Structure formats: structure tokens, C-alpha cells
Copies of this chain bind each other. A is one copy, B any other.
């Protein structure tokens, strides 16, 4: 299979190319420019909203950009595009320039690395380089970073709700086409322990996880057998990985008793059963009931996988109830495995992150000139200037806020603040394997979660995390140059 054209550098919005040609024709395509990517609001899932986001998608973005080329095929496709007048939309000189200069590795790409916690109105990805090229990177950058950060955030919330339970990402069946792979990778960064996605798990060096579907039991029954025969057939092939789906007929009357029979057979052969899966009914009653049956049969350590329309809210309701009511909450919660599908892979309730990519400065004659934007909607105004992003820590080790400064500024260094710069060279991880990148991202998230005050990570009604602008940036933002005053020009 060759890569289809629409997966390469033509994976873009038309206006990036038309603008690039204007810059080229106007002789400013190679002026150095600064664009900054930030999101405006935390994902809001209806009755509740996130109190933090988990940066993700940078690794996949960098490896994609590194391979993007305006090759013969791409340039031929562009050369065939037509104006409504019938004339070519793109001139040969511009396409030649693209072919010769359209290598995204020429851009400086700095970002808050995958796995770190990020907040609204802070520059989490910044690009510097030739104006036309920096413009052209907008679509793939926003596409990868917005969606990945969104799903990593949802996964992190799910993992919080699961407490000591395990989280599996099961979302491919309802995810957005090939975007399912980015959903999986991002969920694994954000908090999912494993995924059912074979290809994406392979890429990041994790074993894919799974059980079986109802169809296995149905097939055996249709061919004259019974649920028990299906379970035995599965156990025979996977004696050490045997997770049995127990709700095809009746969970407590048929599925669990049959699973226990098979588990006893496995145990007699010196094997350790891997779990049962409940895919329907009320988990708050079924999971403890199934656990009691397993316990009684001596399978007190066998995991119980839940997989029916889960999200962070339904999971936290369940784990809270168990923490309150169960005899041994730690044990039952610790044996639960949450297979979270559609609602994770699509970030149900908040299916997109409102990240934008704004020009903040252009260089001419060795001097950076600030780019301003006014609009009729103050929420859409973009602060000018090349910025840096810092995290401030208190004595306790907790982050007490993020500060956006101008690039040349350092936060006033009060002793207790210990400002940490958050933007790093995004290219530098490109030689790492998928596995190394994932493990590093997970370590960053764990470290950041440990330094986030608990009130800011509450699943419902989190406290606002402080984001402040440095005095220098605030002063610049308040200035509006004559050229953007109304009536000029």
C-alpha cells in the first residue's frame, strides 16, 4: 500500500496554501514569523468541566511533519487546481518554491511536551520560521495537537476515576476512522494503561489487550454447543490470558458460573485465569455479586472487566460507591478493569478542543514586529508578541500557577517561585522510539499530577488553576498600534 495523497502534505486547509502564495508573491514568504498555539477553554463536558489538560500529539505531529514533502505527486495535484476563472490557482514559481523550500524541518518547533499538564491561554506549541512555511504548518499542527490533548485529558480523568483500577482504551469501533490511532496513542499518554488497538499498541511497544465478543459464544451455541463450550475453547487456546465475557445469556445465572467452571479447570492445570468481562447491566450490583461468586470459588484475585458505556463520571460513581459500601474497597476496586470505548475516543461531551494558532510576530530588518488582532469578540482577541511559558512552584512542591511572559523576560524570581520553563524543542525527541516517547510522556504526566493541587483536578467543579501574564506582556497586550486602529490604511 502506498500512502494516499490525502495522508501527506496535502492534509491541509486550502487557505494555508493560498496565503502562502500571497506571502511568496509579496516577497515576504521567507520573513521569519512566530505563530503560537493555545486553547481558550478547558473541555466542558456538560455538567462538569476539566480542571487541567494533558498535552499530547506532539510526538505524532513531529514524526508526521518530518516526513511531509511537496513531492512530484503533490505538486502535480496543486498544479491542477483551478481558479473559478479556469486559470491555475497556483503559479509555477510558487510551486517551485514549495518544492524547494517546503521542508517543515526548517521550522523551529517548541512545545510543552506530551504528558505535561497544560492550561488555557498559554502558548503550548510555538513555531518560528519562514512565514509561508510557518503558516502551512497550522492545519496539521492544530489537527494533531487539539485532538490528542483532548483525548489525553479525558483519559486522565478516567484514570483518576478508576483509582487503583486498570483502564483499557476500547474505542476503535466508534472512533473517527484512522483518527482512532491518534485517540489510542493519546489515551495511553493520558492515563489508559493499555488499548485493544493492535496497530497503535504495536507502535508504542505495549501489548494490545482484549477479551472476546458475544459472537464467540453465539457461534458455539448456533453450532450446537453452549456457552461453556465457547469458554472452554477460548481457555484452551489462551490458558494464561483467559478473560471470559459472561453476559451473552445471563451474567449471574449462566456466565459467571460457567466461567468459574472453566477457571477451575485452568487452575487444575496450574494456570491463572485472567478475568471476566461484564458488558451490560448495572455494574454497581453485578460487579460485587460476580466478585463474591469468584471469591467463594477461590478466585479472589481474578480481575473483573467492565465495558458498558463507561466514562469518568460513571466510573467515579461506581468507585465512590464501592469505597463507601464494599467490605474491602481497595481489593475490589483494585481488581476492576475499565474498558472505556466510545466516550473516551471521542471525548464525549466535549468532542473538540478550541485550540487556535495565531501569528504573534514577524521579523523584518532584523527586528521582530508584533502582530495584533482585534475582533468583534473579545474572547477571540489574540495577545501579540513572542512569548514564553513558565510554571511556578511553591515551597510545598505544588504548582501554584503558570505565567506567560515575553520571550526575552524571565519571571521575577521570588525565592519561592522556582520558575520552570515549559517549552522545549519538539524535534529533539524524534529519534526516540514510539515506546520511549510514550514512557517519557507517562512519566511527565505522573510527575505533573503529583504537583497539581487536588482541588484543581476534581472531576466536577475543579478550582481554577491560576494563569497570569507578566507585566511586560500585559503592557504590550494593552497597546494597539495605529495601523490596527479603525480607519487607517
Interface set of A (CB-CB < 8 Å, partner B): 1-8, 10-15, 17-19, 21-23, 25-26, 28, 31, 33, 35, 57, 60, 67, 77, 81-85, 87, 89, 131, 135, 138-139, 142-144, 146-148, 170, 172-183, 196-203, 207-216, 218-219, 221-229, 233-234, 236-241, 247-251, 253-254, 258, 274, 279-281, 286, 308, 342-343, 345-348, 351-359, 361-362, 364, 369-377, 380, 382, 481, 483-489
In the complex, residue of chain B having the shortest beta-carbon distance to the beta carbon of A183: B176
Docked Cα-Cα span, A233 to B142, in Å, equals 26
Q: Are B359 and A247 in contact (CB under 8 A)?
A: no
In the complex, residue of chain B having the shortest beta-carbon distance to the beta carbon of A139: B172
**Would you give the shortest CB distance from A338 to chain B, in whole angstroms?**
16
Q: Are B212 and A19 in contact (CB under 8 A)?
A: yes
By a CB distance below 8 angstroms, the chain B residues around A33 are 219
Given contacts A5-B199, A247-B375, A253-B487, 14 further A-B contacts (CB under 8 A): A13-B198, A15-B196, A15-B211, A25-B236, A33-B219, A83-B238, A84-B240, A84-B241, A143-B174, A143-B175, A147-B175, A250-B374, A251-B376, A254-B488
Q: Are B182 and A177 in contact (CB under 8 A)?
A: yes
Name the one of B5, B484, B485 contacting A202, with C-beta atoms under 8 angstroms.
B5
7 contacts between A and B (CB under 8 A): A11-B181, A15-B210, A18-B241, A19-B212, A22-B233, A31-B223, A144-B177
| Known interface pairs A25-B233, A179-B175, A225-B483; A202-B10 also in contact (CB < 8 Å) | yes
Docked Cα-Cα span, A280 to B372, in Å, equals 16
Name the one of B21, B225, B237 contacting A237, with C-beta atoms under 8 angstroms.
B21
**Would you give the shortest CB distance from A27 to chain B, in whole angstroms?**
10
In the complex, residue of chain B having the shortest beta-carbon distance to the beta carbon of A184: B6
| Known interface pairs A14-B209, A18-B210, A216-B22; A489-B199 also in contact (CB < 8 Å) | no
| Known interface pairs A229-B489, A240-B84; A373-B176 also in contact (CB < 8 Å) | no
In the complex, residue of chain B having the shortest beta-carbon distance to the beta carbon of A361: B222
**Would you give the shortest CB distance from A267 to chain B, in whole angstroms?**
15
Docked Cα-Cα span, A237 to B33, in Å, equals 21
| Known interface pairs A11-B199, A174-B142, A179-B177; A352-B362 also in contact (CB < 8 Å) | no
| Known interface pairs A199-B7, A371-B219; A143-B1 also in contact (CB < 8 Å) | no
Q: Are B253 and A35 in contact (CB under 8 A)?
A: no
By a CB distance below 8 angstroms, the chain B residues around A13 are 170, 172-173, 196-198, 208, 210
Docked Cα-Cα span, A178 to B489, in Å, equals 41
Q: Are B348 and A351 in contact (CB under 8 A)?
A: yes
Docked Cα-Cα span, A15 to B198, in Å, equals 9
